[in-house]
A and B are shown apart, each in its own frame.
Chain A
């Protein structure tokens, strides 16, 4: 069974159709890149998979391990193993990062019928994950993403990926706002989490990120559809020729 299957998905936002029948199949262990120009519907796809309110699905379906994902609340999806790394992680003043991570992990574990992690158990796990991502402990005491640099915010997203151990990670424009060094650190973090059972969907405008996170498959989106799919060489081809050819084709 596929891990994630998007079938002929049609999505509207306020009367305007953004996705016009998009299909995508992701199997365990695979890394898929979704590329496309601004406004092609990449972020809409990531939001609909995660369950963000404000999108109306007018056709098609999304299955996660064969189950209807669209019937689930965002928190149910998270507990099942769907993770969205946000393009713009929000700042939550007054909620300490450590407390947030603990509450979230235990909420997911509770939903799966697993035991709750005590504070010492959690701290051990969190500090180990933070150390591997070069995240100082001081950062974990601050409010969630409050005063974090762009790179720190992205590393905080990857830290959550490491702690929650999701089955599918959707990385929405992970490279936006990062300089090359920050990008490398973030990509190293993601690569460390690649595994046989875990799939990743990397959404990006630029090919650059794919030098660091090398995909198995590349899909080109334009005007709400996947217009071309191929191997990692497709990304390089795009780098040379640009998106214009696909915009005409779509």
Chain B
């Protein structure tokens, strides 16, 4: 089949979908114009395919084939199923903000008694009545990445969080994405977190499905702006349904002397890609970005990180671990760029994959582009199986094969999970990893 034809087919089907959805999409005038431009950029590129270097290992034309139509607004039954799912995954002491099938659900969210200096609005509200500056911030990402462009065109709802200067939130915030629909559909969400100067916050993002949710597509993005001397701790847990697609993007910008600690775990979804761009815009800042992929069956999970050292004196650390079983496929692409003036940059990236079966696949693509001469940069990548001598030692001490493997897998992902500072959230990630190990049997 010829590529142009494929592009036309997917493009036109979606054009119809966009045309139909347009009236339901919030925002007029400038917002509508920005959507049109974003959609035009997407329509021209189409779904990314393997001949585009950045998508070499995640060919969405083969894996996703088409973008599903926009999910209908959830009905009472769907909200009720979502409520049960939210309850099941509830985290104690966390302020929950829930999106059901891409629509903000105030009844499932905790909006009362906001801490002083914390503002929470929905994306819909901001696109319809928000100020121009905030709307501009929401359209920060350009349309170069077709999936980000598509998200810009189609975003229907999300959570817009503002933390004022000098405010350090004591209660973590959680954005929960729940898919409940009984028909296959796509949801397009975008959230934003704006952290002022000398501020602090902890944000958790969770992706889950209710029982009976059909094959669905999550198209999400999160825009984060961290002010000078501020700190954000961020944890992302993907436990989407096994036949779900999740294409999410993060766009993060740090001021001076800021600190961003982020951890992501992908154990759900059939096909997922998390692509994040982190830009150092002020000196003296630090980023730790760590992640774990726990995959089996035919799962495909891609983590693509772009660390942009645009200014001097910033540090970044990336620790990534993948555990891949059965016929699953894990992808890690880590690109670090050190711009010409970004002297005294200290950037390190280490990725390791553990293959549990002969058919499992892990692709690691570290890329360093260094244009400054006084920097410390390094990367390492390893791929291997579980160490037989360690397995035998554990079995000689009474652990079954599965128990011995589980203990070694926990240790393998432990280094990445240990980086989560908040005790409760670290426990949460450990529990998610344990659920995956137990499901292995």
Contacts and interface: CB of A to CB of B under 8 A. Distances in A.
Contacts of A107: 397-400, 403
B395 interface: yes
Nearest to B393: A90
B403 A103 contact: yes
Contacts of B59: none
Given A94-B415, A103-B403, A51 B410 contact: no
Given A92-B408, A94-B410, A95-B408, A75 B415 contact: no
Given A94-B410, A104-B398, 16 more contacts: A73-B400, A74-B395, A75-B399, A90-B387, A90-B389, A90-B393, A92-B408, A92-B411, A94-B411, A100-B394, A103-B399, A104-B394, A105-B398, A107-B398, A160-B397, A164-B397
A79 to B, nearest CB: 5
A160 to B, nearest CB: 7
B431 interface: no
A218 B390 CA distance: 31
Instruction: Please classify the interface of chain B as helix (H, G, I), strand (E, B), loop, or mixed, using the class held by over half of its residues.
Output: helix
Contact of A78 (B388, B396, B408): B396
A75 B408 contact: no
A79 B399 CA distance: 9
Interface string A83-112: 110100110111100001001110110010
Nearest to B414: A94
A99 to B, nearest CB: 8
- Greatest chain A CB density within 10 A among B387, B389, B392, B398 is at B398
A52 B411 CA distance: 22
Given A92-B408, A94-B414, A95-B407, A86 B399 contact: no
A160 B393 CA distance: 12
A126 to B, nearest CB: 14
Chain A: number of interface residues, binned into ranges: 20 to 34
22 contacts: A50-B396, A73-B395, A75-B398, A75-B399, A75-B400, A75-B401, A78-B395, A78-B397, A78-B398, A83-B396, A86-B393, A86-B396, A92-B393, A93-B411, A94-B411, A95-B410, A104-B394, A104-B398, A105-B398, A107-B399, A107-B403, A164-B397
B412 interface: yes
Chain B: number of interface residues, binned into ranges: 20 to 34
A99 B415 CA distance: 16
Interface string B362-403: 000000000000000000000000011110111111111101
A113 interface: no
A74 B399 CA distance: 9
A53 interface: yes
A74 B407 CA distance: 16
Contacts of A74: 392, 395-396
Contacts of A103: 399, 403, 407
Contacts of B393: 86, 89-90, 92
Contacts of B414: 94
The 9 residue pairs across chains A and B that have the minimum distance between CB atoms? A94-B411, A108-B398, A74-B395, A78-B398, A104-B397, A107-B398, A94-B414, A95-B411, A90-B393
